[in-house]
Chain A
Amino acid sequence: MDAPVVSCHHCGEPVAGGHAATADGPAFCCEGCAAAAAWIEGADLGSYYRLRSANANRVQADRLDLASWDRTELLDEHSRAVDGGREIVLLTDGMRCAACAWLIDRALAREAGVLDTTANAVTGRIRIAWDPARTTLSALLHRLAMLGYRPYLATGDAREQARLSDRRRWLLRLGVAGLGSLQAMMLAEALYLDVNATMPVPTRDMFRWLTFLVSTPVVFYSGWPFLAGMARELRARYLGMDTLIAGSTLLAYFASLVETIRGGTHVWYDAAVMFVFLLLAARMLEQRARNVATAQVDALARAQPVFATREREDGTRESVPPSALRIGDTVCVAAGDGVPADGVLLDQDADFEEALLTGESRPVRRRAGETVYAGTTCRERPARLRATATGNATRLSQLAELVDRAQGHRPPLARVADRVGRRFVVSLLVLAVCVYVGWRIYQPERAFEVTLALLVISCPCALSLSVPAVLAAAHGALARCGVLATRPEALDTLARATDMVFDKTGTLSDGRPARVAVDVFNGLDADAAARIAAALEKDSGHPIAAAFADVDARATAQGVVAHPGSGVEGEVDGRRWHLGRADWAAGREDDGGLWLGDGTHGVARFILSERPRDDAAVALDALRTQGLQLHLASGDSEGAVQRLAHALGIAAPLARQSPEDKLARVRQLQQEGRIVAMVGDGLNDAPVLAGADVSIAMGEGAPLAQQAADLVATGPSLLRIADAVRVARLARKLVKQNLAWSAGYNLLAVPLAAAGLVTPWIAALGMAVSSLVVTVNALRLARDDRRLAA
């Protein structure tokens, strides 16, 4: 295969033979892509190819059955009435960059009957408003599917609206905080500049009351999430970060109010509002960075099947939306389909893949009478079940809710600050009471002023800002180098990782195995063998499928079953075939080739070869210099793995590893006290990815693997992993520095304040400077990443 690889004009996949040859026009890998590109050019939307920054999805030529999208039951639940029509929010999996969103907007706008559309590439959501009298929803969705964007149901209209309005409320809070603190600062500036107290008292008081006026909405409207958090924590009799934040805000605010009323020497409104604004901004940035990573993967994982098949009393079947299922209905699930509701399995045993629920990607056998859950996928043979829970009562919905709550939780790093903060607040309050009592005895007229200065100068702003500021900067830096963190604790664990285990297929190699040679036995010719193999691999999503992507399968395989670590099995033209390692497919000694056979006799042997990725050697060197030990555990044959490991200088590679072997290897390393990072991309890797301390999925891999991973690399470059490790370590270092700084600052400032040596004016300055130092330190991360390799 030394011929130059021609990439498909639309999706970028390699083209060989087939549809490549128009004299000098662009090449296409399949009819689907060719049709999509022809339509795009014809509709005068060719700019898409210029604007895009990522390749499109490969278009499935098969026409999807989308008729069920037009059912009124579905529309009732997922869409709402707007002026002149209806509006629906749906998900798609193919939006990879802003140009996709642009294309979708333009393409749908050309359809008759479309009122308005918005596509958002960040969240993977498309909002369509259409006039049901002039077009059907399914016609519009066919247009989307034709361009390679397959529609999925979103989580229901109510939830989508709630998500949107929640985001808007946060934005509004941030805006009010920003504008309000700007004004408060301006007014406070006038007071600060009056160093010698020459300002007439009425003017000064007017300034103070005006500052009070503008900071009130900031503290109570913008700062509401913190206040509510404090209320929650106090109800649970627990002092956490929100108590710390809300406490110090309220302290600065009310202390200023008291000083304003009694005409004291200083007010601190500006400190209170600036604090609220900075914390809100840090929280939003961090959330946005995480949302980019989770919005699509997460929502797709929760996407429900569009319709369910219900069996009537008389044994005939009808298809209904999952929401129409009632407890006690009999539901039929075809092999490969998602289960629409929780239910008890009837008739015979069946296998279900429960990765979504348990993280275990291997199908689990369920016996008749056992419960199977919505969101699992029926494998190998169809099943019938009696529904026991539907809609929001299913285990999947409950889990999704749990995930929502877990995402709101703070990572372990933040919990450290939480713990420190709690002790800090308690001891500070005790100390403040002691100081007040002490001064009351010693010099009663200074007691209030000194206590106030103590509370203000020790204000835990720096402490509570230290972690969120770094996290926000780190997520931003990671996103810029092309790695998205989907779990909050991922950064911390990645920074501590000592070992990195690679899965070979597609991770270190370029993921496009090519057929080097075909040996045929028993009279089948090479082309026919390749066609059978292509039919079997067609929809498997396994990287090996790429080796047969150029073959026109013609026939379709029936009842395809994947056996992880062994191969695939299925029926083509009435014959049962095995495609995989020799001992399983052809009943002979494993020799490293890919065999096609019936399980006992082999008819063809394919030799596949993979090259290491161009950047693999450089990336591995970078990881070694970072002190990581590298391992290779692959499901591929001994020879191929040895060749690759030798080329890249990895010692002791493990070949022919089943997912269980890989997981055992990871567990063994963990028992030796090592912290394991796993890099993988295959379906087989999902359990290992879930089992490792921290896992990274390559962006081109199987969706399931991405979902089990803590971090997703958005591009194929391995250098990103080294960058991610660097950013994670730097973030951890900065958090430590910040915590040390705020602790040191307090150790110095609190005794001085308690001794009455600090005026409230210096206290306010010290508080502002300490917060600023922490923020600027965190921003070093944002600056530093520009020096990283691309």
Chain B
Amino acid sequence: MNILLMLLPISLLLLGLAIAAFAWAVRKGQFDDLDTPALDILDDAPPRSSAPPTSTPREGDDGA
């Protein structure tokens, strides 16, 4: 049963990681709009050509 002593901390660690990843995704606004992004893959057109210059990094939604 000694293997439990290793497996249990690992499972707790994974739990912590999962919660941290979820919290990150929520803060970044990944779940704010669940409808529109689904359409993007249906569009054959090339991605937006006039992307804003790289000097202005795209700001996430994390100012809440």
**Interface residues in chain A, defined as those with a beta carbon under 8 Å from any beta carbon in chain B:** 44-45, 47, 50-51, 80, 82-85, 87, 98-99, 101-102, 105-106, 109-110, 114-116, 118-122, 127, 129, 131, 161, 164-165, 167-168, 171-172, 175-176, 179-180, 183, 186, 203, 206, 210, 213-214
Contact = CB atoms under 8 A, between A and B. Distances in A.
Contact of A99 (B4, B12, B39, B55): B39
A101 B48 contact: no
A115 B33 contact: no
Nearest to B18: A179
Interface string B33-64: 10110111011110010111001111101011
Contacts of B4: 203
Contacts of A119: 33, 36
A176 to B, nearest CB: 6
Contacts of B31: 168, 171
B62 to A, nearest CB: 10
Given A44-B45, A82-B59, A203-B1, A51 B39 contact: yes
B42 A114 contact: no
Interface in B1-28: 1, 4, 8, 11-12, 15, 18-19, 22-23, 26-27
A644 B8 CA distance: 73
A47 B35 contact: no
29 contacts: A51-B39, A82-B59, A83-B56, A83-B59, A84-B55, A99-B39, A101-B35, A102-B39, A109-B52, A115-B52, A115-B59, A116-B59, A118-B29, A119-B33, A120-B35, A120-B36, A121-B36, A122-B33, A122-B35, A161-B64, A164-B64, A172-B26, A175-B19, A175-B22, A175-B23, A179-B18, A179-B22, A183-B11, A203-B4
Contacts of A120: 32-33, 35-36
A491 to B, nearest CB: 24
Contacts of A87: 59
A47 B18 contact: no
Contacts of B50: 109-110
Given A168-B27, A183-B15, A210-B8, A98 B57 contact: no
B61 A115 contact: no
A206 to B, nearest CB: 8
B22 A172 contact: yes
Contacts of B23: 172, 175
A18 B59 CA distance: 46
Most chain A Cβ neighbours within 10 Å, of B8, B29, B51, B52: B52
Contacts of B58: 115-116
A116 B33 CA distance: 15
B56 A110 contact: no
A165 B64 contact: yes
A102 B36 contact: yes
A183 to B, nearest CB: 5
A167 B22 CA distance: 14
A84 B64 contact: no
Contacts of A106: 48
7 cross-chain pairs, A with B, having the tightest CB-CB distances, nearest first: A165-B64, A98-B35, A101-B36, A175-B22, A84-B56, A47-B43, A102-B39
B36 A98 contact: yes
Contact of A83 (B35, B45, B57): B57
Contacts of B38: 98
Contacts of A186: 11
A738 B61 CA distance: 42
Nearest to B34: A122
Given A51-B43, A101-B33, A115-B56, 12 more contacts: A50-B42, A85-B56, A87-B59, A99-B39, A115-B58, A168-B31, A172-B26, A179-B19, A180-B15, A183-B15, A203-B1, A214-B15
B26 A102 contact: no
A120 B39 CA distance: 13
Contacts of B40: 102
A45 B23 CA distance: 34
B32 A118 contact: yes
Nearest to B43: A47
Contacts of A129: 59
Contacts of A168: 26-27, 31-32, 64
A115 B29 CA distance: 16
A85 B4 CA distance: 54
Most chain B Cβ neighbours within 10 Å, of A116, A161, A167, A214: A116
A129 B60 CA distance: 11
Contact of A210 (B12, B19, B42, B44): B12
Nearest to A47: B43
Contacts of A47: 42-45
A171 B4 CA distance: 32
A171 B56 contact: no
